[in-house]
Amino acid sequence: MFQRHMAQKNCTQVTEFILVGLTDRQELKMPLFVTFLSIYLFTAVGNLGLILVIRTDSRLNTPMYFFLSNLAFVDFCYSSVITPKMLGNFLYQQNVIAFSACAAQLGCFLAFMTAECLLLASMAYDRYVAICSPLLYMVVMSPGVCIQLVAVPYSYSFLVALFHAVLTFRLCYCHSNTINHFYCDDMPLLRLTCSDTHSKQLWIFVCAGVMFISSLLTVFVSYMYIISAILRMRSAEGRRKAFSTCGSHMLAVTIFYGTLFFMYLQPSSNHSLDTDKMASVFYTVIIPMLNPLIYSLRNKEVKEALKTILKRKMAFMFMKLRK
């Protein structure tokens, strides 16, 4: 106890951190830069384009697409929190991030990742009501209820992320200022501190447990009812449409939760920072790119709306050229 108190007393204030990045091999940096820049541009165009299509086409003004537009917004935001700084690491010899910027990056990333987790649960409930109570769907999923099912995840995630970031950056960092990661993540930061982190780790465990268990339980129970309702349908066409309606969401949930389980529930003996980096690349860079593909390519209504918008744009451009 005395030694820990003296260590914190002698702690020098860190003003910046150095991000190690994905690789230190120079010959890989430019190919990786081009690859991840292309992925980020595709992510931005895909998610912002999906939001634009949903907002523009009146046929998509339904609760399901309201949630989908919010999911696309969150995907774009948390990819934008991580990717630009990661791209900088490929261009510069030493990628430095200020102490306050590191805190902001961690807080924003945690907020958007938590929001995505909870939004997927809200979307599962929406699908449950649509399949199990189709006649009451527009009554149950009223505009007020939809706003609450989005506002609660946003509010909870930002409050938890703020408290989490404050706790993390009140610790004393005296071992080093080099973070062995491509962004300011919690576990690499805790390895640099000489403060007692037991209360911090307990806080992480409780918050993550409450969030994951509650959201996953909501998804699981919703889909148990959905599958039961689909199996009771007499019409094969009705079953096909119901599975098609839920298929995109089930795929997105499987990819998102599967990646998180792989990262956080693997045995400590197999746990390594290199594995963390690869898993982090998947859920910070790849998943935000995949979601608009999953929800647009598998969704007939979105594809039809996109075709309508493109036809209008082409007709408008043709009229301007004729003038």
Give residue-wise pLDDT tens across range 23-79.
Answer: 888 888 899 999 999 999 999 999 999 998 898 888 888 999 999 999 999 999 989
**Closest alpha carbon to 175 in 5, 6, 2, 14:** 14
Q: How far apart are CA 50 and CA 73, in angstroms?
A: 9
Distance (Å) of CA 309 to CA 25, 72, 313, 314: 45, 19, 6, 9
Q: Work out the number of other CB atoms within 10 angstroms of the CB of residue 112.
A: 26
Q: How far apart are CA 321 and CA 323, in angstroms?
A: 5
Q: How far apart are CA 197 and CA 201, in angstroms?
A: 6
pLDDT of residue 155: 95
Helix then strand count (H, E) for the chain reads 12, 3
The listed range with the strongest mean pLDDT (6-15, 104-113, 181-190, 206-215) is 104-113
CB 166 within 8 A of CB 284: no
pTM for the model:
0.87
Per-residue confidence at 288, pLDDT binned at 50, 70, 90?
A: very high
Strands (E), the chain: 16-19, 95-98, 178-179
The structural domains of the chain, ordered by start, are 2-322 (1.20.1070.10)
Per-residue confidence at 2, pLDDT binned at 50, 70, 90?
A: very low
- Mean pLDDT for 288-298 is 84
pLDDT of residue 187: 81
